[in-house]
């Protein structure tokens, strides 16, 4: 892709816009992949936290305490440190510490506990009476989760996914610092290490646009599924 | 038949047992409308939830039909629960589902997958509760009375033999309450369904129940046919409930009564005696005089009843009382 004269005047240091395009795609791939896995791990984890909590459908104080502690530990480590600590695990899981593949394990391990808490909170918003009614109708625990809790909480669940996706955008950008690629990598290498502030400006602008789009999309889905 | 045998229930709070229901035994017959009345905290929510074991008793047995509910393992219990419908004060509908899907829900839980079967049954149920036009709406678009009708349709979906009503009209205005009670009475009549309802309003009991138990602080203090309990309340709590539905003489009137000449009597008529001119006939035959001080005529479910407070004078008052009692009128003496 060749740059136009206007772009050249505005951003004198950027000679390869294609690199920015590739970085965008990398960020989106990291985001998509990690969001999907975060959902797949965080949703059951959140359901487990909800069900085993005190006074809930299957109270199991010990299991709840252990799960809760694990979630809290993972959430209290700053992501940039978590990434470094997890490097051996990442290497074991995907065979590399770099690139998109190397970024996904720490992203998921960092975000899944966060999402699990949001799931737990969303499920607690479901009215106790509705759960009682379905018990009275002879619903099994699995039927209650599948047909009552998740559908009734879907507004809150989609809001949780939106918040998690936006947190993940931030995490992917941090991944740039340890060679995961994407917009964060660009901003870090050119914008910070090479003092090319126009790179910084463009990546920040792109990240803002990405976050805005995610929030708008999330809000629309939540509005569609909120029936109160 | 629903049968409670030596059932009691306490809750464990802060390592102490807080009794909710003192040991009791109770039988509820097939096809009757049985009311349980009590103030909040009396234990009536706990009692009704014992029937489908949403609450487990701390001791005793609960039988529904021939089945001992308290002895069932989880899967068998779920199976039995599908034969017991339940409606709630706050309706407890699925906000994310349409009216039709809410009504189909218990059938889907029971494993019904055939779309045509589900649709036909849902239409039939919605027609019964008068909501055919609202099938595709969401609960948030309905009024309270309509929501409770959806709740009733949902509770009937699996053709239960028992319907439990947990304060089903307490969140509704008086007119809506009347129409929902009418619907419950109709269901009881046409489907021969046993209805157990809990309420804190004696008026609800008077309108639909056949028998009633009065619950006070975890104890059934009185039970019997609604007519007996209504016309001759024994326990102080029962009297309070009855007076709400049927204002007794005020203190001022009581004082006025004490200045009246003659014997002060309360006559209770029920059923046919309400509709015959017995009092006039007896007065003519015995030559007594009476002065009506207070009175009312109303219905308990379908049974007309009346109560008259009157002062009676004359030489043959005793003979008149015998004649009235023979005609089926109950008499209480108020100033003896």
Which DSSP string corresponds to A31-53?
HHHHHHHHHHHHHHHHHHHHHHS
Across residues B282-291, what is the average pLDDT?
Answer: 89
Determine contact, residues A159/A166, Cβ cutoff 8 Å.
Answer: no
Tens digit of pLDDT for each residue in B235-265?
999 988 887 766 555 556 666 676 778 888 8
Q: Is the pLDDT of residue B273 over 90?
A: no
* A102 or A66, which is more confident: A66
* A88 or B303, which is more confident: A88
Q: What is the pLDDT of residue B214?
A: 96
Which residue out of B11, B94, B111, B138 would a mutagenesis test of the A interface target, given it has the greatest number of A Cβ atoms within 10 Å? B94
**B230 and B261 assigned to the same domain:** no
Neighbour tally for A61: CB within 10 Å? 10
Looking at every residue in chain B, the average pLDDT score rounds to 91
Across residues B219-239, what is the average pLDDT?
Answer: 90
**B236 and B298 assigned to the same domain:** no
Q: What is the pLDDT of residue B255?
A: 66
Q: Report angle CA B123, B124, B126 to the nearest 5 degrees.
A: 65
Q: What is the pLDDT of residue A48?
A: 97
Q: Is the pLDDT of residue B179 over 60?
A: yes
Domain boundary among B193, B215, B244: B244
Q: How far is B50 from chain A (nearest CA, A)?
A: 11
Neighbour tally for B275: CB within 10 Å? 11
For residues B254 and B232, give the distance between their C-alpha atoms in angstroms, rounded to a whole number: 18
Across residues A138-167, what is the average pLDDT?
Answer: 96
Asked if B79 lies within 8 A of A138 by C-beta distance, the reply is: yes
Across residues B16-21, what is the average pLDDT?
Answer: 91
Cβ contacts (< 8 Å) between A132 and chain B: which residues? 54, 88, 92
Domain boundary among B244, B275, B308: B244
**B240 and B258 assigned to the same domain:** no
Determine contact, residues B158/B110, Cβ cutoff 8 Å.
Answer: yes
Number of domains in chain B: 2
Q: Which of A98-107, A207-216, B277-286 has the highest mean pLDDT?
A: A207-216
- State whether residue A135 sits within 8 Å of chain B by CB: yes
pLDDT band (50, 70, 90) for residue B15: confident
Tens digit of pLDDT for each residue in B45-94?
999 999 999 999 999 999 999 999 999 999 999 999 999 999 999 999 99
Q: Are strands B219-225 and B211-216 parallel, antiparallel or unpaired?
A: antiparallel
Q: Domain containing B321 — which CATH number?
A: 3.30.70.260
Q: How far is B170 from chain A (nearest CA, A)?
A: 15
- State whether residue B326 sits within 8 Å of chain A by CB: no
Q: Which of A79-88, A176-185, B187-196, B313-322 has the highest mean pLDDT?
A: B187-196
- Collapsing DSSP states into helix, strand and coil, what is residue B62? strand
Q: Is the pLDDT of residue A65 over 70?
A: yes
Q: Domain containing B132 — which CATH number?
A: 3.40.50.300
- State whether residue B84 sits within 8 Å of chain A by CB: yes
Q: Is the pLDDT of residue B336 over 80?
A: no
**B158 and B298 assigned to the same domain:** no
What is chain A's alpha carbon radius of gyration, rounded to the nearest angstrom?
21
What is the share, in percent, of chain B residues with pLDDT greater than 90?
A: 65
Across residues A199-205, what is the average pLDDT?
Answer: 87
Q: What is the pLDDT of residue A191?
A: 78
Tokens (6 digits) for B86: 């339940």
**B238 and B275 assigned to the same domain:** no
**B229 and B205 assigned to the same domain:** yes
ipTM: 0.84
Across residues A113-132, what is the average pLDDT?
Answer: 96
pLDDT band (50, 70, 90) for residue A110: very high
Question: Looking at chain A from residue 145 to 174, which residues have their Cβ under 8 Å from any Cβ of chain B?
Answer: 147-148, 151-152, 154
Boundaries of domain holding B45: 2-244
**B58 and B174 assigned to the same domain:** yes
Tokens 């009157």: give the residue.
Answer: B310
Asked if A138 lies within 8 A of B106 by C-beta distance, the reply is: yes
Domain boundary among B199, B221, B244: B244
**B18 and B74 assigned to the same domain:** yes
Q: Is the pLDDT of residue B8 over 60?
A: yes
Tell which residue, A61, A170, A162, A164, has the closest CA to residue A112: A164
Residue B130 gets the label, from left (phi > 0), alpha (psi -120 to 50) or beta, of left
**B239 and B260 assigned to the same domain:** no
**B43 and B100 assigned to the same domain:** yes
Q: Is the pLDDT of residue B111 over 80?
A: yes
Q: Is the pLDDT of residue B333 over 80?
A: yes
Across residues B266-287, what is the average pLDDT?
Answer: 85
For residues B335 and B139, give the distance between their C-alpha atoms in angstroms, rounded to a whole number: 56
**B161 and B281 assigned to the same domain:** no
**B273 and B321 assigned to the same domain:** yes
Q: Of the given ranges (B77-81, B231-235, B274-278), which has the lowest mean pLDDT?
A: B274-278
For residues A126 and A144, give the distance between their C-alpha atoms in angstroms, rounded to a whole number: 11
Q: Is the pLDDT of residue A15 over 80?
A: no
């Amino acid at each position: 892709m060749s740059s136009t004269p206007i772009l050249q005047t505005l951003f004198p240091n950027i000679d390869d816009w294609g690199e920015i395009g590739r970085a965008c795609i990398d960020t989106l791939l990291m985001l998509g992949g990690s969001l999907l896995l975060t959902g797949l791990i965080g949703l059951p984890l959140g359901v487990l936290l909800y069900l085993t909590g005190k006074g809930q459908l299957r109270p199991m104080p010990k299991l709840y305490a252990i799960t809760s502690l694990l979630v809290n530990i993972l959430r209290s480590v700053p992501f940039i440190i978590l990434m470094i600590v997890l490097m051996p695990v990442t290497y074991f899981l995907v065979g590399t510490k770099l690139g998109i593949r190397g970024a996904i394990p720490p992203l998921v391990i960092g975000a899944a506990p966060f999402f699990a808490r949001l799931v737990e909170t969303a499920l607690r918003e479901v009215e106790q009476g509705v759960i009682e009614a379905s018990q009275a109708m002879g619903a099994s625990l699995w039927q209650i989760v599948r047909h009552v809790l998740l559908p009734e909480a879907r507004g809150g669940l989609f809001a949780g996914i939106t918040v998690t996706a936006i947190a993940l955008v931030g995490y992917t950008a941090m991944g740039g610092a340890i060679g995961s690629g994407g917009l964060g990598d660009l901003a870090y290498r050119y914008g910070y290490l090479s003092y090319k502030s126009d790179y910084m400006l463009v990546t920040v602008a792109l990240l803002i646009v990405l976050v805005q789009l995610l929030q708008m999309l999330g809000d629309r889905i939540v509005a569609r599924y909120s029936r109160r | 038949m629903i049968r409670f045998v030596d059932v009691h229930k306490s809750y464990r709070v802060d390592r102490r047992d807080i009794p909710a229901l003192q040991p009791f035994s109770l039988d509820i017959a097939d096809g009757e409308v049985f009311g349980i009345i009590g103030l909040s905290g009396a234990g009536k929510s706990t009692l009704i939830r014992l029937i489908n074991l949403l609450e487990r008793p701390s001791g005793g047995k609960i039988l529904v039909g021939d089945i001992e509910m308290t002895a069932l393992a989880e899967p068998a219990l779920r199976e039995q629960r599908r034969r017991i419908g339940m409606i709630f004060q706050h309706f407890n509908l699925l906000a994310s589902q349409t009216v039709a899907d809410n009504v189909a829900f218990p059938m889907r839980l029971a494993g019904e997958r055939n779309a045509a079967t589900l649709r036909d049954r849902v239409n039939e149920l919605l027609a019964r509760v008068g909501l055919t036009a609202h099938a595709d709406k969401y609960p948030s678009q309905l009024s309270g009375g309509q929501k409770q009708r959806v709740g009733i349709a949902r509770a009937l979906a699996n053709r239960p033999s028992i319907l439990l009503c947990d304060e089903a009209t307490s969140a509704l205005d008086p007119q809506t309450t009347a129409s929902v009670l009418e619907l419950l009475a109709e269901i009881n009549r046409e489907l021969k369904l046993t209805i157990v309802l809990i309420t804190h309003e004696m008026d609800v009991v008077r309108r639909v129940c056949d028998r009633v138990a009065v619950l006070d602080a975890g104890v059934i203090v009185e039970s019997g046919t609604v007519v007996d309990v209504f016309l001759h309340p024994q326990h102080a709590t029962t009297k309070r409930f009855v007076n709400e539905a049927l204002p007794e003489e005020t203190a001022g009137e009581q004082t006025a009564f004490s200045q009246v000449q003659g014997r002060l009597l309360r006559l209770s008529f029920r059923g046919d005696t309400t509709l015959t001119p017995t009092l006039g006939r007896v007065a003519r035959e015995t030559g007594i005089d009476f002065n009506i001080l207070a009175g009312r005529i109303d219905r308990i479910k379908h049974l007309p009843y009346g109560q008259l407070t009157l002062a009676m004078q004359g030489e043959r008052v005793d003979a008149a009382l015998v004649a009235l009692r023979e005609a089926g009128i109950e008499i209480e003496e108020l100033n003896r």
